[in-house]
Structure 1
């Protein structure tokens, strides 16, 4: 049962850490505070009816070291004893995990809360800077991740502690600004009557933009997957795909700039997830950074804030491992999100 007051932030080792997205689930086992995480093969969520089956078959049945606790980062808001994922049919039930899988302690956090924990200590080798700006030590940071959906989180530093700030910032409204935006906006597929950032800045968002660009130009949309669009964009073989990825970078820059101002993220704005890595050559061009800085009357301020692409292959797991080792370094709220046997 979730307890309202847990003064002890430490979870018993071994600890299973997991990053559960809409498409993929990544797991690692942390034997103790000094060990490197032992990573398991990536799990396709569509291959299992629920998360308990996935953990049992892919983790517990494959290791002699049985975890006593679990820290799981989930793509969706965490409320109550049953937590559905936003872009996956899995429902996480910590009480059942404790009863059926042998855990003593289960902590659930937002998936981009885990990304925020990671960016507290990324080395230069785990990130690539895009554009100008200088990171201010100890200053707030923000992280965005276009993937199956659009994750957003903040990271605030106070009293020698990093406080991750989870939320659903990926669902903020988006509107047209340029003349080209007004041409393609009528052809975008809305969600319940509006265009949210996630309707544009994720895998299906790439297709949404591509189909709208094609329709606005009176062309047939020949490509049918996000990977096809990005591949043809990067090699320059499809003009509509090239424009789609350029617009994607522009829209991502606008939202990243908004989050930078909301969190006053002078410590940097970080782009996480698979899509930024795949379109890194396009992000290096001017569209993303120009849109990020185009925030009058604060454009001069925005030019000082650095932006990075996270290149660490398992950043969320690295963030969870850092928390598992030294939870006192982070101000992670556990009320209503931690269950004990």
Structure 2
């Protein structure tokens, strides 16, 4: 049986870094500790039978460089030698990657652990603040992001290291607050009898919310994808689509505020993911911020907590690159998640 490498051992360059979501796979090569990542075109997971074929076609066939290590961020829980993606049929098998593609070392983490690593050093140009609040140096941070699913992770500072905390926070309950919410909620499609945050705050969740609004108002739903809803909201052709986007922002703000309280995230709450970057021009920042601060009896605490939208399009790769350059700056638990040849 191949032994697990000691977690303090540095990774060998060149290093392949990859952000693998339910829909898109993003790859880059890090030639050494000082080089900027060399990125490759984004590929669709649905276009490949497995991650092995995607790495071969999207990276190895496009360069003469043979990476010695791989650091992969996967949209799903990392547990064992066969890692299932939550919203994709891909199964990641690190030992097969080593045997088939020639890696000497493979590290696998949750995709929102990578997002958490990114917010440890995100430049000002890669973020946009919504409302008031000042980030406290060394304080806990939270990142959440709606995309194919809804990812959540924390980031805490201890012993001079940033420590990412992965979880399944996207599956907590999300409940109605206002009379409009109470009218819409019975028309949402539940999952096993409950409305989780991910039933609203992701791509399919936006469609779920839009359809529920239409049913509530006795309209016929005409949009069937997140992209169509966003387009219809932008051009004003569908009032239900516009309301869906605004309520999406309010509900995302509420959940962000809940998580800020859980982690006492005085270092900031960061909103990322593919959906948020697409709908930024349509969002009412005041609604987003109001939902975030609406946390009596702790509204004053939330008013002091900064809220950011991540505008860096490849934030997860930024976090992976930071980790790959020097893993010892980060308290990432690699026991059972790091394989060697």
TM-score between the two structures when normalised by the length of structure 2: 0.98
Instruction: Say yes or no: does 1:71 pair with 2:71.
Output: yes
Aligned twin of 1:112: 112
What is the SS of the residue equivalent to 1:35?
coil
Contact 1:24 1:43 (C-alpha < 8 Å) held by counterparts = yes
1:276-320 per-residue CA deviation (whole Å, 9 max, x = no partner) reads 112213434321110100111100000000111111111000000
Contact 2:207 2:226 (C-alpha < 8 Å) held by counterparts = yes
Aligned twin of 1:217: 217
Contact 1:82 1:91 (C-alpha < 8 Å) held by counterparts = yes
The farther-off stretch of 289-298 and 271-280 is 271-280
Instruction: Say yes or no: does 1:316 pair with 2:316.
Output: yes
What is the SS of the residue equivalent to 1:115?
helix
Contact 1:130 1:283 (C-alpha < 8 Å) held by counterparts = no
Residues in 1 aligned to 2:191 and 2:21: alpha-carbon distance in whole angstroms: 21
Gaps of 5+ in 2: none
* Within-5 A mapping of 1:106-145: 106-145=106-145
Shift of 1:4: 5.7
1:241-290 per-residue CA deviation (whole Å, 9 max, x = no partner) reads 11111110111011101111111111100011221112213434321110
Gaps of 5+ in 1: none
* Within-5 A mapping of 1:16-165: 16-165=16-165
Residues in 2 aligned to 1:20 and 1:254: alpha-carbon distance in whole angstroms: 27
Distance 1:218 1:92, change over 3 A: same
Residues in 2 aligned to 1:297 and 1:283: alpha-carbon distance in whole angstroms: 26
Shift of 1:217: 0.6
1:171-195 per-residue CA deviation (whole Å, 9 max, x = no partner) reads 1111111111111111111111111
Aligned twin of 1:252: 252
Distance 1:7 1:240, change over 3 A: closer
Residues in 2 aligned to 1:234 and 1:303: alpha-carbon distance in whole angstroms: 29
1:136-156 per-residue CA deviation (whole Å, 9 max, x = no partner) reads 111110001100000000000
Residues in 2 aligned to 1:205 and 1:195: alpha-carbon distance in whole angstroms: 10
Contact 1:113 1:164 (C-alpha < 8 Å) held by counterparts = yes
Aligned twin of 1:176: 176
Contact 1:271 1:309 (C-alpha < 8 Å) held by counterparts = yes
Shift of 1:9: 3.5
Shift of 1:235: 3.2
Shift of 1:216: 0.5
Instruction: Say yes or no: does 1:277 pair with 2:273.
Output: no
TM-score between the two structures when normalised by the length of structure 1: 0.98
Shift of 1:58: 1.5
Aligned twin of 2:287: 287
Instruction: Say yes or no: does 1:198 pair with 2:198.
Output: yes
Aligned twin of 2:8: 8
Distance 1:9 1:235, change over 3 A: farther
Residues in 2 aligned to 1:213 and 1:21: alpha-carbon distance in whole angstroms: 28
- C-alpha RMSD over aligned residues: 1.2
Contact 1:135 1:267 (C-alpha < 8 Å) held by counterparts = yes
1:225-244 per-residue CA deviation (whole Å, 9 max, x = no partner) reads 11111122233331111111
The farther-off stretch of 278-287 and 142-151 is 278-287
What is the SS of the residue equivalent to 1:194?
coil
Shift of 1:83: 0.3
Residues in 1 aligned to 2:212 and 2:51: alpha-carbon distance in whole angstroms: 36
What is the SS of the residue equivalent to 2:78?
coil
Contact 2:201 2:248 (C-alpha < 8 Å) held by counterparts = yes
Residues in 2 aligned to 1:291 and 1:105: alpha-carbon distance in whole angstroms: 44
Shift of 1:3: 4.5
What is the SS of the residue equivalent to 2:109?
strand
Contact 2:245 2:283 (C-alpha < 8 Å) held by counterparts = no
**4+ runs deviating over 4 angstroms:** 1-5
